[in-house]
Amino acid sequence: MEFLELKDFLDNKVGQYNRPDFITNDPICIPHRFSKKQDIEIAAFFAAILAWGQRKTIINKCTDLFDRMDNDPYNFMLHHGDDDLRRLLNFKHRTFNDTDLLYFVSFFKHHYSVSDSLETAFLPADFKQDGTFTAELALNHFRSYFFSLPDSPRRTVKHISSPLQKSTCKRLNMFLRWMVRQDQTGVDFGVWKTISPADLICPCDVHVDRVARRLELITRKQTDWRTAVELTAELSKFDPADPVKYDFALFGLGVEEKF
């Protein structure tokens, strides 16, 4: 397709999929059950990290998880006791198990004892000094910070990716999209105001990757961090202020339309 034709096509698909009825059958429905910012952050983080496999299964697993926290995750993170933690035992989704979960809870307890938002966990020292932000720096910083507690289990590191591992960081980029993007449709939350939507990287899962290659938005042979950056740079040509809105179009074309 020519540039304007492709832009119109993708813009129409964003309009088709970036709407409230998208929420019901997507893991983003989990944080939409909450209203307090910290509850939204925690629910969104788990929903994103556990987002592999069928969407229905992901939603059911997250529902089970937050039922174990009495659907009050922020309060649970700050004030849980040993009996509360026992309720988390035997939780499992794919390779994520209760050892991983208990460490995640430890991290959240630590972080929320020093900050009232998870956004600060993604802001490296360079940003705090001069306002410089890149998703690559942010994700590398976050992974290092996340595993900075002395009891971090070796097995858990596989659940938090970063560009240093050459990962596309699909789950964390999706989480950032949910937290940072804000428009009039009410799908993404936009509760974080420091990071700009223009600085986000498009979540690049198998569906998005396949559709983007078919539309010649990706030329790189392998699928890794540089691929996600390449895709986002192409999408920025259509909307430099909000390139990751096209995640709705590419994902919808891949999953709903088998494009």
pLDDT in tens, 180-238: 999 999 999 999 999 999 999 999 999 999 999 999 999 999 999 999 999 999 999 99
* Per-residue pLDDT at 131: 74
* Per-residue pLDDT at 128: 62
* Per-residue pLDDT at 257: 87
3-class secondary-structure state, position 23? coil
* Per-residue pLDDT at 132: 77
Q: Is the dihedral of CA 46, 115, 166, 251 positive or negative?
A: positive
Of 101, 247, 94, 112, the closest CA to residue 255 belongs to 247
pLDDT under 70 in the chain at which residues?
Answer: 128-129
CB 30 within 8 A of CB 59: yes
Of 50, 10, 5, 1, the closest CA to residue 28 belongs to 50
Burial 151-182 (b: 16+ CB within 10 A, else e): eeeeebbebbbbbeeebbbbbbbbbbbbbbbb
Domain extents in the chain:
3-255
Could you tell me the two tokens for 55? 């969407």
Q: Is 82 exposed, middle or buried (0-12, 13-18, 19+ CB in 10 A)?
A: exposed
What are the residues whose beta carbons fall under 8 Å from the beta carbon of 67, sequence distance 6 or more? none
CB 205 within 8 A of CB 251: yes
